[in-house]
Amino acid sequence: MRGNKFCFDLRYLLVVAALAFIYIQMRLFATQSEYVDRLAAAIEAENHCTSQTRLLIDKISQQQGRVVALEEQMKHQDQECRQLRALVQDLESKGIKKLIGDVQMPVAAVVVMACSRTDYLERTIKSILKYQTSVASKYPLFISQDGSNPDVRKLALSYGQLTYMQHLDYEPVHTERPGELVAYYKIARHYKWALDQLFHKHNFSRVIILEDDMEIAADFFDYFEAGATLLDRDKSIMAISSWNDNGQRQFVQDPDALYRSDFFPGLGWMLSKSTWSELSPKWPKAYWDDWLRLKENHRGRQFIRPEVCRTYNFGEHGSSLGQFFKQYLEPIKLNDVQVDWKSMDLSYLLEDNYVKHFGDLVKKAKPIHGADAVLKAFNIDGDVRIQYRDQLDFEDIARQFGIFEEWKDGVPRAAYKGIVVFRFQTSRRVFLVSPDSLRQLGVEDT
């Protein structure tokens, strides 16, 4: 009886223990599931937090980049504002009205393009002021500096007779070809900025462009005043230049002689506001002078140039690294005769008149052929003409005489309808004539 009761109690205890064990296991499983769910939720929340943190970091980085860019922009604008304030103060102290006169309209603004050559610039300013002071109301003088060289700025501001402008360019320069000089790109930018300022801001009708390594002739301003009349009358004239590429002493004689040319001479030149309005929107990134020599840009228009130069370029050291200086620039003759341009009839230079005028000169010249062109020209009295076959033949003949051999876009330097004219030894003129030149001039080849 007791044995049976003991067995029953043991079974009962085992059942209770089993039930308790099952209950505990169920609670543990439920607790583990709850913890797993909480852990998954925590991991998900952590991932979301990490993602949001990264987004916040990215936004902060972007904002920091914008802040840096804005700070840099503000720095540049602050510098420009200081320069503008200085320019305004300079203009107010001198007064544009005083520079150009209260009544008389100026013939042209004169701008000297400068950068960092203080000694050259001083020599140029002194040369200009020597002849400009008496005609300052007709030719207000500006110095346009590219960059922030303090010595150039100080020098320019020391002259009360001129107005100082400063071009500050912080845009990086990307050259189009390896090995190119950055200077040519910066020069082109400076020219565009300065001419935009003078034509569009100051509203001048004409501008004469000089560089900071030039001296001018005594009749420089009278010459350009006469040229301004031609520029206004004849729209086939793109610019007036004071320069002759073949203006070396041995090749010139007549200070009164002027010519039309299909080749842009540069080095002291005047253009009109209407022409600049056409050129400014498409101004090149670099090599602006060679760009003007392209037929697509001058579009059949020509340039007036003198036989004897009205500017002298003394800049052996500069962006061109002294190219051609010893051979072509140093021997240039600067005009030393006071020509009375006001009394001269220059109507022969108008397009409708010039073809006949120049054609008559070429027609009267005696043709010479064969080798030893220099010797044959020397032994003939009066003008001569020599026909070249092509560019290589021209270069060979030019080399014999010592004139410029270079061509741009199919046009020799200083040429008009393929003809290059220069003096040789005496007043004798030599005409180097292309195979098609006589036809263009309406001259029969006799």
Q: Tell me which DSSP letter residue 168 carries.
A: -
Angle between the N-to-C axes of helices 150-157 and 118-132, in degrees from 0 to 180, rounded to the nearest 10: 20
Place of tokens 């876009």: 409
CB 420 within 8 A of CB 402: no
Encode burial over 16-47: b for 16+ CB neighbours within 10 A, e otherwise: eeeeeeeeeeeeeeeeeeeeeeeeeeeeeeee
Can you tell me the distance from the alpha carbon of 367 to that of 378, in angstroms, rounded to the nearest whole number?
Answer: 13
Q: Is 289 a catalytic residue?
A: yes
| 128, two tokens | 């200009």
Judging by DSSP bridges, how do beta strands 311-313 and 214-216 pair with one another? Answer: antiparallel
CB 307 within 8 A of CB 259: yes
Can you tell me the distance from the alpha carbon of 165 to that of 157, in angstroms, rounded to the nearest whole number?
Answer: 10
Counting Cβ atoms within 10 Å, is residue 113 exposed (0-12), middle (13-18) or buried (19+)? buried
For residue 252, the one-letter residue type is: V
CB 249 within 8 A of CB 416: no
CB 121 within 8 A of CB 212: yes
| 166, two tokens | 């400063």
Considering the candidates 90, 196, 289, 393, report the single residue annotated as catalytic: 289
| 210, two tokens | 């000089």
Q: Which residues touch 245 (CB under 8 Å, ≥6 apart)?
A: 263, 265, 328, 404, 413, 414
* E-only strand ranges, 13-102: none
Single out the residue of 438, 441, 423 nearest to residue 382, CA to CA.
423
| 241, two tokens | 């230049």
Positions annotated as catalytic residues are 289
